[in-house]
Amino acid sequence: MTADPAPLRPPLRADELAALPGWAVEVVAASPSTNADLAARARAGAPARTVLAAEHQTAGRGRVDRVFVTPDRAALTFSVLLRPGAPAAAWPWLPLLAGIAVRRGVARRHPGLRVGLKWPNDVLVAADGPPSGKVCGILAERVESADGPAAVLGIGLNVSTTRAELPVPTAESLATAGVPAGELDRTALLVAVLDELDRGLERWEAGDLTGLRADYTSVCDTVGRAVRVELPQDRTLHGTAVDVDPGGGLVVEGPGGRTVVGAGDVVHVRRADA
């Protein structure tokens, strides 16, 4: 088997992003972790809607403290700083809202691609058939600062990453999912995602959790599937995902009744009606 050819990887267009209305976007050549760097800036007083994007991330962090490296200019790795005015009870919706924004941004830029969302915010893609390859992960963190609590949303989206560069066999990139190299534009994709995030945040800040819940449930591929959920303390839950509750938790119907899952790795087994 021959190796994937090295793709062309132009840099992010920093001047275009810096001029984006409503956001303060900075592009850096490299960062160990854009989330860690932006969290430090939040503690130092950085304003809301600051965005830090890195061309190369050397020690990115995912859920359960997983560490990953992104090849230079192969992915869209960025973090967004928010200083929400919404009540604390609404904060669990932030990572789900970010998942919707990425899903919609990718679908908007690449309408021929099948794009799905696995609870809580893994974005899945496929050239055809059900979306199953993870193309994007999202990590939300709360940061305490002298200016009050802040939220940092870290987003890592594989764009031109080759099959050999992907960290695990279940991962995918837009390129490996079949998007032609000439259509891969990380700058335009970041603009689309921030635009969709802006729309979602406006509704979230206005308190429209009912509408956001309906939107999320309608696009979440997990709802309606038989699932296996890896829970903390080495526990496993088997059942059918039947809903997302008002707090953003996944409702799983299992042998012992319904359980609301607030955190855990979800594995899609099959459609419940298959």
Structural domains of the chain, with CATH: 14-217 (3.30.930.10), 223-271 (2.30.30.100)
Dist CA 168 CA 171 (whole Å): 6
Q: Tell me, what DSSP letter sits at residue 86?
A: S
Residue 68: CB atoms within 10 Å: 18
Q: What is the pLDDT of residue 228?
A: 94
Residue 92: CB atoms within 10 Å: 17
The whole-model pTM stands at 0.91
Asked if the bond preceding 10 is cis, omega within 30° of 0, the reply is no
CA 34, 40, 44, 48 dihedral sign is positive
Four-point Cα dihedral 213, 219, 76, 35, nearest 10:
30
Percentages of the chain per state (helix, strand, coil), in multiples of 5:
25, 35, 35
Dist CA 159 CA 166 (whole Å): 11
| pLDDT one digit per residue (tens) for the chain, 274 residues | 344 444 579 999 999 999 999 999 999 999 999 999 999 999 999 999 999 999 998 765 554 445 456 789 999 999 999 999 888 889 999 999 999 999 999 999 999 999 999 999 999 999 888 898 999 999 999 999 999 999 999 999 999 999 999 988 889 999 999 999 999 999 999 999 999 999 999 999 999 999 999 999 999 999 999 999 988 888 899 999 999 999 999 999 998 899 999 877 888 775 544 4
Whether 127 and 37 have beta carbons less than 8 Å apart is answered as no
